[in-house]
C-alpha cells in the first residue's frame, strides 16, 4: 500500500513539475494537489456549442475530489440518453494540466464509436474554455499510388476518424 501511495505521489509530482504524459485516475478522484488546480480556476459552468448544438456543462469536484462533468442536456441527442462518466485520465503538456479523458456512455446511440470524451483546457487572453472531442466513427481506407521511378503500384492502409467537437467558454 505504501509503495502504491509513493508511486502515485511520484506521478503527481512529475505531472505538476513539467513532464509530459498522462496519469490514470482511480475511481475518478484527484489527489489534493490536482484538486487544488481544478478548484483554483477551472471549476464552473461552461457554455458553447458541441456537434452544432448549444450546450452547457458544469465542471465541479465533489467532497471526495471526484471530478464531475455534467451536461444540462444530452450531448448527442435527447433520444440517446447519453451520459458522461467518471474521470479516467489527466493529460499533462509539460507545463500543467492540458486536459482530461472521461468515460462516455452513448446510451441508446450505440452506433457511436467513442466511449471516451476528451476535454482539453484552453486559455486565451484570460478566457478559459474547454474543447470537447468525441469519436463518432472510425474510418479506414487504402491510400494507393504509383512510385514515380519504378512505376510500381502501392497501397497503404490508413485509419482515422470522424469526431464530434465543440468549444465551451467559462461563464
Tell me the pLDDT tens digit for each residue of 129-170.
999 999 998 887 887 887 777 677 888 887 788 899 999 999
Please write the tens of the pLDDT for every residue from 79-91: 999 999 999 999 9
For the chain, the farthest-separated pair of C-alpha atoms sits apart, in whole angstroms, at 66
101 close to 116: Cβ distance less than 8 angstroms: yes
Decide: pTM greater than 0.95. no
Mean pLDDT for the chain?
Answer: 84
Amino acid at each position: 500500500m505504501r509503495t502504491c501511495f509513493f508511486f502515485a505521489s511520484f506521478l503527481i509530482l512529475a505531472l505538476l513539475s513539467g513532464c509530459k504524459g498522462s496519469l490514470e485516475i482511480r475511481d475518478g478522484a484527484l489527489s489534493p494537489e490536482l484538486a487544488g488546480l481544478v478548484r483554483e480556476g477551472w471549476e464552473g459552468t461552461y457554455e458553447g456549442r458541441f456537434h452544432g448544438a448549444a450546450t452547457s456543462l458544469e465542471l465541479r469536484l465533489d467532497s471526495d475530489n471526484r471530478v464531475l462533468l455534467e451536461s444540462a442536456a444530452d450531448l448527442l441527442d435527447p433520444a440517446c440518453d447519453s451520459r458522461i462518466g467518471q474521470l479516467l485520465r489527466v493529460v499533462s503538456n509539460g507545463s500543467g494540466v492540458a486536459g482530461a479523458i472521461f468515460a462516455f456512455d452513448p446510451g441508446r446511440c450505440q452506433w457511436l464509436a467513442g466511449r471516451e470524451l476528451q476535454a482539453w483546457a484552453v486559455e486565451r487572453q484570460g478566457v478559459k474554455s474547454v474543447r470537447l472531442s468525441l469519436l463518432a466513427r472510425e474510418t479506414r481506407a487504402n491510400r494507393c499510388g504509383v512510385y514515380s521511378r519504378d512505376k510500381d503500384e502501392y497501397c497503404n492502409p490508413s485509419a482515422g476518424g470522424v469526431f464530434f467537437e465543440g468549444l465551451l467558454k467559462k461563464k
